[in-house]
Amino acid sequence: QNVLLKVDNLKKYFPKRTASLKKVSHVKAVDNVSFEVFEGETLGIVGESGCGKSTTGRTVMRLIEPTSGSIKFDGEDLSKLSKKVMRKKRRDIQMVFQDPYASLNPRHTVKKILEEPLIVHGIGNAQERKERISEYLEIVGLDSYHGKRYPHQFSGGQRQRVGIARALMTNPKLIIADEPVSALDVSIQAQVLNLMQKLQEDLKLTYIFIAHDLGVVRHISDRVAVMYLGSVVELAESESLYAEPLHPYTKALLSAVPIPDPTYEREQMIITGDISNSVTDTGCKFQARCPYATITCKMSTPDLVEVKPGHSVACHLYSTD
Ligand code: SF4
Ligand code: MG
């Protein structure tokens, strides 16, 4: 399997105001995150809001500049490119956003919305662009007459189809989808997920699929990374993660998901505590909410360690030394 994207020790710290003006403090939105994405796969990134999953996605594309770390895409370190070269690189990495209404210019027709990335990247002449727009409207399940319409004339699901078509216009290798179905009705979610899966097969796409719910990414993801307060706490193949979650946080997230298969019995855990006041500088970030926390968890930060082939976890319960 070819590695398309390799992210190493990615950090994004935002400065934070503190009461004492002398003290400089940071919010570690992305705190030393490393992962790989293989060509043609879907890597799910899951966690509660504020865990840094969206910031991770945006930092990979340098829509947000990383504080440090390397982002190797197709053999090239994106973090070292000039802004100008990076803009050109975005032809190969596109994003689908959560709220298609907010991400589509309301004053532009769909045709104009879809044409924009082609113009930005200098792809095709007017006739070729027109043909490509009709082709891609059809690929996402819309008709070419929809090109004349404005975003408000569409349903939420149709708008997200437009958002997906826009992301595909430049023929990208990697799509970073940030909660692409979270704003949609449950009945529409499955349609959009199915469309994305079909497009992945037909167009040989690689996805990073960001979601706040493990249920949503279950069927679309080959592997899943679970994030908590800026760190990846568990990373595994989907089958392994859902059948045998290791990290207490993953277990808690899964116990909140209704699981139709009765053979999957799980400890029911209630997450206590509040994400905003559980930030500590030393030790495991989950300690305040973890029913298994010990003194070791307060003293030292667990590293993400592979404990079974393809299954990594950052928790002292699984450390062997
Ligand atoms: Fe809980 Fe300790 Fe594991 Fe953190 S390291 S998840 S506090 S058991
Ligand atoms: Mg988000």
231, 272, 287: residue to mutate for ligand 1 pocket, most atoms within 8 A of CB: 287
Ligand nearest to C-alpha 57 = 2
Prediction pTM value: 0.90
Find tokens 């992945």 and name the residue: 200
Ligand 1 within 6 A of CB of 97: no
> How high is the pLDDT of residue 30?
96
Whether the Cβ atoms of residue 305 and residue 314 lie closer than 8 Å to each other: yes
CA dihedral 185, 166, 5, 11 (to 10 degrees): -70
* Tokens (6 digits) for 3: 């590695």
Whether the Cβ atoms of residue 106 and residue 114 lie closer than 8 Å to each other: no
> How high is the pLDDT of residue 261?
34
Ligand 1 within 6 A of CB of 248: yes
Instruction: List, run by run, the mean pLDDT of 10-residue segments along the chain (321 residues).
Output: 96 79 77 97 94 96 97 96 96 92 90 96 96 97 94 94 97 97 92 97 98 91 97 97 96 70 36 47 89 94 95 93 61
Q: How far is CA 308 from CA 141, 159, 171, 312, in A?
A: 41, 42, 36, 7
Q: Which residue has a Cα nearest atom 3 of ligand 1?
A: 315
Ligand nearest to C-alpha 298 = 1
> How high is the pLDDT of residue 236?
98
Ligand 1 within 6 A of CB of 188: no
CB-count burial class (<10 Å; 0-12, 13-18, 19+) for 320:
exposed
Ligand 1 within 6 A of CB of 253: no
Whether the Cβ atoms of residue 216 and residue 181 lie closer than 8 Å to each other: yes
Q: Which residue has a Cα nearest atom 5 of ligand 1?
A: 315
Ligand 2 centroid to residue 11 C-alpha, Å: 17
In angstroms, the first-to-last Cα distance of the chain is 32
Bridge partner list, 209: 44, 177
> How high is the pLDDT of residue 277?
43
Q: Is the dihedral of CA 223, 200, 116, 114 positive or negative?
A: negative
> Whose CA is closest to 142, among 105, 116, 168, 181?
168
> How high is the pLDDT of residue 21?
62
Ligand 1 within 6 A of CB of 95: no
Residue 158: strand, helix, or coil: helix
Ligand 2 centroid to residue 269 C-alpha, Å: 24
Ligand 1 within 6 A of CB of 111: no
Ligand 1 within 6 A of CB of 302: yes
Domains in the chain: ranges and CATH: 3-92+172-318 (3.40.50.300), 109-168 (no CATH)
Supply the ipTM of this predicted assembly: 0.95
